[in-house]
């Protein structure tokens, strides 16, 4: 029996991980702490909300009093930190929350992990901390060169994790993953935005020339990687998580058009994102060699599964794409569409 704290568990990847862990480890108990920002959604967890092994608290991870009381009460074995502000475009418009949650929030958790002797913490971070590379792939020792307030805030958190391991021997493990995709992804990110726009018979807004490259990992594969890192990874180490499935945004868009039976007139090229990273690529040799992880989903399989999920769960995303979302979308795209 292990007790795990998952922060940000009402978001995209956190909710997938909670479901995965409850399925894989019947004896585990999971506590989810989530602030429920615009990206947090309890509908992501409807199917497991009444599971006696699961509990939810709505709280902010920068609230050190709440976090300290919680750790004192619960005596966690493991902590998985998924909570973050995560959308690059929002970080460009409004960086404050990124610095508070991503950096101070991680600091608050590290302090509690140190004080209460938690066995292991995994910090879920991103390949974006390495900046952009035109060729080759980032390894665990590539230098940090973040280019957006989002990636800079995640890099800050990663530096703190390393420092807490070296200085205080806090048992933290850091992961840098390529882009996730799969069910329950908030429809502001590239893939869910494009899929839902096409399902609504709307155009899809490609930034710049569309030749930006991202590497993609399906939710289930990422959950398996974190499972291995949590249980078998070495503390103080960094693990890259990547699949080698690297695609230009325009090629991915063409695949989506094909899957959803639309022609190229649905593509709209719009003004580029400032500071847009040209290419991400991750070398995951260490994860493969040390922990035996390989992806089970090809990009095409994952994309088809993702499209099917959005086709079958229209009420989930339609509810999100109304109200405040519309105001965000108008603000984000109005100027770019009209320039």
Active site residues: 127-128, 150
Binding to ligand NAD, residues 104-163 (CB under 6 A): 105, 124, 126, 154
Non-local CB neighbours of 167 within 8 Å, separated by 6+ positions: none
Strand partners, 31: 5, 55
Per-residue x/- marks for ligand TYD, 254-293, CB under 6 A?
Answer: -------------------x--------------------
Of 269, 270, 329, 335, whose CA–CA distance to 38 is shortest? 329
Nearest distance in Å: CB 19, ligand NAD: 13
Q: Does 249 bind ligand TYD (CB under 6 A)?
A: yes
Query: Binding ligand NAD by CB under 6 A: which of 4, 5, 6, 11?
Result: 11
Q: Does 101 bind ligand NAD (CB under 6 A)?
A: yes
- Tokens linked to 253: 């868009």
Of the CA atoms within 13 Å of residue 28, those in its CB half-sphere come to 22
In Å, what is the CA distance from 301 to each residue of 15, 16, 153, 298? 21, 18, 33, 5
Tally of CB atoms within 10 A around 5: 26
Query: Binding ligand TYD by CB under 6 A: which of 189, 262, 279, 306?
Result: 189
Strand partners, 80: 6, 122
Q: Which helix (H) or strand (E) segment is 143 a member of?
A: none
Query: Binding ligand TYD by CB under 6 A: which of 61, 129, 174, 193?
Result: 193
Binding site for ligand TYD (CB under 6 A): 88, 128, 179, 189-190, 193, 205-207, 212, 214, 249, 273
> Residues interacting with ligand NAD, by CB under 6 A?
7-8, 10-14, 33-37, 39-40, 60-62, 82-86, 101, 105, 124, 126, 154, 177, 179-180, 186
């Amino acid at each position: 029996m292990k007790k795990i704290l998952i922060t940000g568990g009402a978001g995209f990847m956190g909710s997938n991980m909670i479901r995965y862990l409850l399925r894989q480890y019947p004896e585990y108990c999971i506590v989810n702490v989530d602030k429920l920002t615009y990206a947090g959604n309890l509908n992501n967890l409807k199917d497991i909300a009444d599971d006696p092994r699961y509990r939810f608290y709505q709280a902010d991870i920068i609230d050190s009093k709440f976090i300290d009381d919680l750790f004192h009460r619960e005596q966690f074995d493991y902590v998985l930190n998924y909570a973050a502000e995560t959308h690059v475009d929002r970080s460009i418009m409004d960086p404050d929350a990124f610095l508070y949650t991503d950096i101070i929030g991680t600091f608050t958790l590290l302090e509690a992990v140190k004080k209460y002797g938690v066995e292991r913490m995994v910090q879920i971070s991103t390949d974006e901390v390495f900046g952009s590379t035109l060729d080759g792939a980032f390894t665990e020792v590539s230098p940090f060169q973040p280019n957006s307030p989002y990636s800079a805030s995640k890099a800050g958190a990663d530096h703190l994790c390393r420092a807490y391991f070296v200085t205080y021997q806090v048992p933290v493990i850091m992961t840098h993953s390529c882009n996730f995709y799969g069910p329950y992804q908030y429809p502001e990110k590239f893939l869910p935005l494009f899929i839902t726009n096409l399902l609504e018979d709307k155009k899809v807004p490609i930034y710049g020339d569309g030749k930006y490259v991202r590497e993609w990992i399906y939710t289930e594969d990422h959950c398996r990687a974190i499972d291995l890192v949590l249980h078998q990874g070495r503390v103080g180490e960094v693990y890259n998580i990547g699949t080698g499935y690297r695609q230009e945004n325009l090629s991915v868009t063409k695949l989506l058009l094909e899957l959803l039976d639309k022609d190229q007139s649905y593509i709209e090229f719009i003004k580029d994102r400032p500071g847009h990273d040209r290419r991400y690529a991750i070398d995951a040799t260490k994860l493969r060699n040390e922990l035996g992880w390989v992806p089970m989903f090809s990009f095409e399989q994952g994309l088809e599964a993702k499209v099917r999920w959005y086709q079958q769960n229209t009420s989930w995303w339609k509810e999100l794409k109304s109200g405040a979302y519309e105001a965000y979308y108008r603000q984000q795209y109005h100027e770019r569409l009209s320039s």
